[in-house]
Amino acid sequence: MKINKICCIGAGYVGGPTMAVIAQKCPHIKVTVVDINEQRIAAWNDENIDNIPIYEPGLSTIVGETRGRNLFFSIDVEKAIEEAQIIFISVNTPTKTYGKGKGMAADLKYIELCARQIARVAKDNKIVVEKSTLPVRTAEAIKNILDNTGNGVQFQILSNPEFLAEGTAVSDLLNPDRILIGGDTTPEGQKAIKSLVEIYANWIPTIKILTTNVWSSELSKLTANAFLAQRISSINALSELCEKTGADIHEVAGAIGMDSRIGSNFLKASVGFGGSCFQKDILNLVYIAKSYALHEVADYWEQVIIMNDHQKKRFANRIVQTLYNTVADKKITLLGWAFKKDTNDTRESAAIYVADDLLNEQANISVYDPKVNRKKILADLDYLETRSYKANASKITTCNNPYDACEGSHAIAILTEWDEFIYYDWLKIYESMEKPAFIFDGRNLLNKLDLQKIGFIYQAIGS
Ligand code: UDX
Ligand code: UDX
Ligand code: ADP
């Protein structure tokens, strides 16, 4: 089948950038991205390209080039489903906050709603592609819904997990390490796989396009994220040991990273990993293992999360301890709120948990992040339900520039590795602060000797 119309349900961090790049590389395909969130779609359609809802380096240029040509953003979900030959499902799959599997299992209600809507609307055969990260065997559930409530049309379900990282989404999409497509082993399944391969082959060498069965593809996505997160928890665990022994985590990471069996990526000790995927996917893996009574497997992976929670907690504890065991009514400045640089996404950001702990100690917190606004910061804290919205709002100030954020504060905590932090006038900041002036560098971003020369008491992770 020659594909010339596709749609994507979900205009988020995955759906938006992925479809923009497909549209750019496949001018012969009409790409429609739909979402039930009207505000989000309006933002994607905003005349001012700088107002698109997701910040990713290079994204606005691609959207500017393709939008209205062969890339469309719409709230008309049914029309888009009806027209498309391939439907990507890219809706959110957060951790369940209620009922069975609460706090662990993925909440599949949005996925199920999509499946039911596709089943209701589709009048001809469709290929349905799982783009969101899903527990292994979700395709089976989707297929059941489609086959039993549909209008007698044929559906093929493919798993095509997205491996892009936020902050580098565009370059990851343009030049991915691999594309993974899982499908049925039947001739129809293989035909569906071929249709999707042909789309990617417009810009990706076929040698990088890997095809597997559906279950391997689903499980590979969880596994990749679990391995990456495990490396961070491993290095973070050793960072604490370094702080006790006089070893330096930079030097240790450098030394082990040169072993080609280990490799040098993802060995940066930090205040803890965040983002929408790592924690959610590991919890998912743990939940699945438990559901098959594989308790050792579950415990093994759960430790990655336990270690990450510990790393965030001990960072906040260290601030309190260093500031003479009290931060009550002291101004503490947080530089960075996003879960990593070059994104405006804050999901599961370590900053949220560090702020929450410091609020428990009654600190006054001032926050500056180049891409995150006050509304989002307060919503993130509110979501934890530790205290009332009003109580959070009264203790949190947000600033539009870093110098105001730091003025009069006792300590600065670096929580996101934004490049601009490196180039601040640190002498000016030092002079405006209470003394002794502390910096807790949760990203090992700044130059220790320079800051010490100015007069700061500087503490990093793992040294
Ligand atoms: C190891 C380290 O590799 C080496 O750098 C260090 O100096 C000494 O310890 P060694 O124990 O000789 O070397 O062999 P290695 O190849 O690391 O294998 C260790 C064990 O792991 C073996 O039983 C091997 O079969 C097993 N293994 C290795 C696996 O089960 N899977 C793998 O992918 C790799
Ligand atoms: C991750 C995977 O990398 C990506 O393949 C998958 O599709 C989605 O999940 P993302 O969460 O966007 O991507 O960002 P990533 O770069 O993996 O960083 C995740 C978290 O780990 C961030 O908080 C980051 O700061 C932290 N991190 C990363 C470290 O603390 N140390 C490191 O060495 C690397
Ligand atoms: P991700 O990081 O996985 O892309 P996001 O939360 O950024 O996650 O995006 C998911 C998007 O999916 C949201 O904008 C949400 O409104 C949208 N969505 C969820 N359920 C549906 C649905 N049934 N139909 C259309 N859009 C949906």
C-alpha 404/C-alpha 366 separation (Å) is 9
What integer is the mean pLDDT of 295-319?
Answer: 98
Tell me, yes or no, if 7 is annotated catalytic: no
> Rounded mean pLDDT of 34-60?
96
Pocket flag, ligand 2, residue 339 (CB < 6 Å): yes
Check if 274 has its Cβ closer than 6 Å to any atom of ligand 2: yes
| pLDDT tens track for 404-433 | 999 999 999 999 999 999 999 999 999 999
Question: Which of 182, 223, 174, 226 shows the shortest CA–CA distance to 200?
Answer: 174
Helices 295-322, 278-291: crossing angle, 10 deg rounding: 150
- The mean per-residue pLDDT over the stretch 13-22 comes to 97
Task: Tell me how far the alpha carbon of residue 262 lies from the centroid of ligand 1, in angstroms.
Answer: 12
Counting from 1 in the atom list of ligand 2, the atom nearest the Cα of 345 is 12
Annotated binding site for NAD(+), which residues?
10-15, 35, 40, 91-95, 132-133, 166, 277-280, 347
In this structure, the dihedral spanned by the alpha carbons of residues 108, 109, 110 and 113, taken in order and rounded to 10 degrees, is 120
CB of 35 closer than 6 angstroms to any ligand 3 atom: yes
Q: Per the structure block, which two tokens stand in for 201?
A: 């082959």
CATH 3.40.50.720 in the chain, residues? 5-204, 213-463
pLDDT band at 142 (very low <50, low <70, confident <90, very high): confident
**pLDDT value at residue 106:** 84
213-463: CATH superfamily: NAD(P)-binding Rossmann-like Domain (3.40.50.720)
Reported ipTM: 0.93
How confident is the model at residue 120, as a pLDDT? Answer: 92
Q: How far apart are CA 401 and CA 371, in angstroms?
A: 11
Q: What are phi and psi of 410, to 5 degrees?
A: -85, -30
Superfamily of structural domain 5-204 = NAD(P)-binding Rossmann-like Domain (3.40.50.720)
How far apart, in whole angstroms, are the C-alpha atoms of residue 371 and residue 364? 21
> Residue 436: is the preceding peptide bond cis (ω within 30°)?
yes
The C-alpha atoms of residue 329 and residue 323 are separated, in whole angstroms, by 12
Q: Is the distance from the beta carbon of residue 215 to the nearest atom of ligand 3 less than 6 Å? A: no
> What is the spatial distance between Cα 176 and Cα 157, in angstroms, rounded to a whole number?
23
Give 145's pLDDT tier (boundaries 50, 70, 90).
Answer: confident
| 334 CB-near residues (< 8 Å, 6+ apart) | 351, 354, 355, 365, 366, 367, 368, 412, 413, 415
Q: Would you place residue 355 in the very low, low, confident or very high pLDDT band (cuts 50, 70, 90)?
A: very high
pLDDT class of 230 with cuts at 50, 70, 90: very high
Residues 6+ apart with CB under 8 A from 187: none
Q: Which of 114, 277, 399, 406 is catalytic?
A: 277
Q: What is the mean pLDDT of the chain?
A: 95
